[in-house]
Structure 1
Amino acid sequence: MSAPDEQAEKRAEKPEQPVEPTVLVERRGRAGVLTLNRPRALNALTHEMVGLLHEALRAWVEDPEIEVVVLRGAGERGLCAGGDIVAIHRDATTGGTGSEDFWRDEYHLNALIARYPKPYVALMDGIVLGGGVGVSAHASHRVVTERTRIGMPETGIGFVPDVGGTWLLSRSPGELGTYVALTAGHADGADALELGLADRMVASSDLDRLVEQLADPSAGSIETVLDAVAVPAPESALTAARAWIDAGFGHDDPREIVAALRARPEPEAHAAADTVATKSPTSVAVTLRALRAARAMGSLEEALAQEYRIALRMLRGHDFPEGVRAQVIDKDRSPRWEPASLDLLQEADVASYFAPLGDAELALTRPPSPASAGSEG
């Protein structure tokens, strides 16, 4: 037998390594624990992961032994870095439809989490971006740590805050949400609390203990357990910046926002104006309009339907694939936006992103409240 044949035989005899599931679904006492399990990809969401999360959550609704759901991320870096942006870029450049299906199912998952009938505790430790916000910030109980770095970076890649991001950020105090959305800014744990994206801070070293107590039926109520482990949060840097943020970002035209920021005396306001000017002009204008519309909406489902319209059109536009190319694929950090500035943007072009999709509309309806559900007849 030749040497190559011997090597081939050894490879054939070597047992294959089992493939780990992308979402670990566990039962621990009274808790159902969901762990996003792609640590090398910072737990970026795939379509498969969305389906596994949805399946587990649906099953646990009717399971009397599961009293609380806990979401966490595998590895040391964070909960979730968002969606699989490379796969979405492939669809954008080849005309594929996988992203449309992914977003449809992802947004349904976001709505399910927001209306989940049992306590849903999201451990927002480390990096939490984009789609990671969608599976955590709609939870009934949202926990951040001193390691949390949360953000909606979409305007920097020619996209818009989605997964209910426009709904969440439009309800932040004052114009803090507008500031974070248009600058694609990141927030720490204290900022997330100020923005209304989280409820409690816990030391990252206490997260394992927190999960154990949430799973222990003798540990008391979910609120009692969370309150016992929570620590005081430091003051958010956003608090001190409210004056110039509210004044600068309180306009409905992005050009007026940039002008107002440049007219402020604070250096931070000028830096924010410079940052907005580097983002996709189309994304900035569409995001601002989406935030203002979401602020007047009555449900998350309405905002998700609007985001779906925008996302499908961004997928087939110029700036989204170009932004991903520049920031993620080639990493030259020099996107060539079209149009290149806010001054060249046409209102009709912005409005086109919001037009109804006809039969392709996201079919999301808000479930009736318990009071109204039994009022018929």
Structure 2
Amino acid sequence: MTGDPDIRFERLGKVACVTLDRPKALNALTLGMIRAFQPVLEDWGKDPDVQAVVIRGSGPKAFCAGGDVRAVCEAGLEGGELTRIFFREEYILNRTIKRFPKPFIALPDGITMGGGMGLSVHGRYRVATEKTVMAMPETAIGFFPDVGGSYFLSRLPAPFGAYVALTGARLKAADALYLGLATHYMPSERLESVLEEFARLDVSEEEPWHWDAKIAEILDTHSETPGAASLEAEHARIKRHFAHESIEGILDSLAAEDSDWAREVRESLEQRSPTSLKITMEQIRRAADLDFDACMRMEYRMSQGCMAGHDFYEGIRAVLIDKDHAPDWRPSTVREVSPEIVQAHFESLGSLELVFD
């Protein structure tokens, strides 16, 4: 039941299960996986014999470490169409998950970054474990938090959205729960038992809410408290610095604080693409007033702006290809990134705009 060997579909009673199966690549999402998943998910949404969907990753390390951006980079350098097609089809899949009419349960058991967030956060339930690490690290590769990041990050308690988006902060289970990016927590070893309980579910009532209630009951029964969230302790400090409306203001604020934390955060920001930081700040600001579909259309415009620029290709080279971690960003400082450069990432694409059926 799949046209791609890197993604598997199966049935557990009336619960459908999709497994991302590229463990050596940390289950990074390819175009082939997207194209296999999209029609199956649409069919499951209409199939009365499917009452819920579970998505998980194979292997011990990752749920999904992101999209296959290296393939996109290589295609872009060669003038290929993947730079347009990949993001278009990935964003349509994100929207399908967001609008899915039945319980959609993600098991981000391990590394969950970038594209992996798009496959999980938009679902109704997100079950974190002691292995969960969530992040949107795109500013480090000359990109921006996409896959609906503009929508869910802009709706976090202020100013955590800006903090997570700009810094690429890695969030463990307690922090993911604190921000609402995860809905439940349980030990990783308990997930198989939960799936077995899902498979045994037999709810005779036709109303969909009966299934939702049973799913929630099982998850609630197995859930535990992961401990204190580190972000809660840092809330006042993050608010003080990241409530500024500009990257320059954030950097100046951090520079004024004499602490290891402030120095480390500032140094981290200074290593990231200045253009990415600027467009991400604008993205989060604009998204607060947009619905989900409008956010996705904005992100598609931004993706194509990045594909037409320099920093994405340089970031992938420095981080994933040569791995020297010494990118030559252009412009090289945030003060050199003009309003015109930022605005160019939000301009209409005309006939190439992202359109939903």
| Fold-level similarity (TM above 0.5) | yes
Per the normalisation by structure 2, the TM-score is: 0.94
Measure the CA separation in 2 of the matches of 1:248 and 1:257: 5
CA RMSD of aligned residues (A): 1.5
Give secondary structure in 1 for the equivalent of 2:16.
strand
Measure the CA separation in 2 of the matches of 1:340 and 1:152: 22
1:257 is matched with which residue: 250, 266, 286? 250
2:96 is matched with which residue: 109, 112, 132? 112
State the 1:151 CA deviation.
0.7
**Larger of the two Rg values belongs to structure:** 1
Measure the CA separation in 1 of the matches of 2:179 and 2:162: 10
Give secondary structure in 2 for the equivalent of 1:179.
helix
Structure 1 portions without partners, runs of 5+? 1-18, 366-377
Structure 1 counterpart of 2:218: 225
Structure 2 counterpart of 1:349: 341
Measure the CA separation in 2 of the matches of 1:59 and 1:208: 25
Give secondary structure in 2 for the equivalent of 1:156.
helix
Measure the CA separation in 2 of the matches of 1:212 and 1:55: 26
Q: Deviations over 1:213-236 (max 9, x none)?
A: 122215971111111111112111
Q: Deviations over 1:32-53 (max 9, x none)?
A: 0000111111111111111121
Structure 2 portions without partners, runs of 5+? 204-212
Moved more, 56-65 or 29-38: 56-65
Structure 1 counterpart of 2:209: none
The runs of at least 4 aligned residues of structure 1 exceeding 4 Å deviation read none
State the 1:335 CA deviation.
0.2
Per the normalisation by structure 1, the TM-score is: 0.89
State the 1:128 CA deviation.
0.5
- How many corresponding residue pairs? 346
Measure the CA separation in 2 of the matches of 1:158 and 1:293: 20
- Superposed, 1:124-143 pairs within 5 Å as 124-143=108-127
1:291 maps to 2:291: no
**Percent identity among equivalent residues?**
40
State the 1:267 CA deviation.
3.0
| Contact in 2 for aligned 1:322/1:336 (Cα 8 Å) | yes
Give secondary structure in 1 for the equivalent of 2:130.
coil
Distance 1:314 1:101, change over 3 A: same
- Superposed, 1:1-377 pairs within 5 Å as 21-218=5-202, 221-297=214-290, 299-364=291-356
Q: Deviations over 1:266-285 (max 9, x none)?
A: 43123212211110000000
Measure the CA separation in 2 of the matches of 1:20 and 1:355: 35
Measure the CA separation in 1 of the matches of 2:271 and 2:121: 27
| Contact in 2 for aligned 1:214/1:222 (Cα 8 Å) | yes
| Contact in 2 for aligned 1:281/1:342 (Cα 8 Å) | yes
Structure 1 counterpart of 2:206: none
Whichever residue aligns with residue 179 of structure 2, its letter is: L
